Amino acid sequence: MKKTQLVKNIYKKKSFLCVGLDPDLEKFPSSILKEIDPIFSFNKKIIDATKDFCVSYKINLAFYEKHGLKGIQSLQKTLDYIPEDFFVIADAKRGDILNTSKMYADAFYDNFNFDAVTLSPYMGGDCIKPFFRNGKWSIVLIATSNPSADDFQMLKTENGIPLYIEVLEKAKTWGTSKDMMFVVGGTRPEIIKKIREHAQDFFLLIPGVGHQGGDLSEICKYGFNDQVGVLVNCSRSILYASKGDDFAEGSRIKAEKIQKEMSTYLS
């Protein structure tokens, strides 16, 4: 998907919501566990319930790979079910030597036809470059919101600059705002602001709203650019808004609530 189409979809739906499809069998209602393919049955109901309120789906591979071949089959059926006009992200956090990264890129783009892949830049540019293909996106981890993110990301380099900024500046030499995004945790608006100052034209994929406590108004205040430039991911807060057999309706209500708030920032 090209950047112009993504921006068009955001304004059309008045939403920059990305729903994370991270199915956890331990959180499923008992009725879904009785299905032949509970993961796909769950995802199908979530997609039906949320597709009017989001523009993107993010699929965390770990929740599928855990179940081996059955999980991969559920993944493929989920991908086949998502409508074509959605921006679909493989949350895989890959990053390896050049020939290995090429194999990963072939897998995610050729076999599964994802629009984008999340990538770890720790090994440098040659582990990222195989993911640059026409119409596809590399989504590079820059500053995350997990508890131990500061172990490395906030360390100061010899220039006195936080490491995450050094990574950002280097990553900008690998791609453009038309084929690269950056992952920025949603719980620290001051970092979103700093990254936006260094990456004015790039989209930011921002998790951390919902269970992790990120504030949507602050994300928009510091993260927006003149083309919106933000995808906000919500996973658990939407998927498990209700723990009963009405889980899909609970997800619909939660997604619609978020979309309505987003629409106020797009007006």
| pLDDT single digits (tens) 60-78 | 999 999 999 999 999 999 9
Active site residues: 93
- What confidence category does residue 185 fall into, taking pLDDT thresholds of 50, 70 and 90? very high
pLDDT exceeds 90 at position 209 = no
Domains of the chain by residue range? 3-266
Q: What is the mean pLDDT of residues 207-224?
A: 84
pLDDT in tens, 125-179: 999 999 999 999 999 999 998 889 889 988 998 888 999 999 999 999 999 999 9
Domain 3-266: CATH class, spelled out: alpha beta
Q: What is the mean pLDDT of residues 41-50?
A: 98
pLDDT in tens, 3-42: 999 999 999 999 999 999 999 999 999 999 999 999 999 9
Q: What is the 3-state secondary structure (H, E, C) of the chain?
A: CCHHHHHHHHHHHCCCEEEECCCCHHHCCHHHHCCCCHHHHHHHHHHHHHCCCCCEEEEECHHHHCCHHHHHHHHHHHHHHCCCCCEEEEEEEECCCHHHHHHHHHHHHHHCCCCEEEECCCCCHHHCHHHCCCCCEEEEEEECCCCCHHHCCCCECCCCCEHHHHHHHHHCCCCCCCCEEEEECCCCHHHHHHHHHHCCCCEEEECCECCCCECHHHHHHHHCECCECEEEEECHHHHCCCCCCCHHHHHHHHHHHHHHHHHHHHC
Task: Return the pLDDT at 210.
Answer: 63
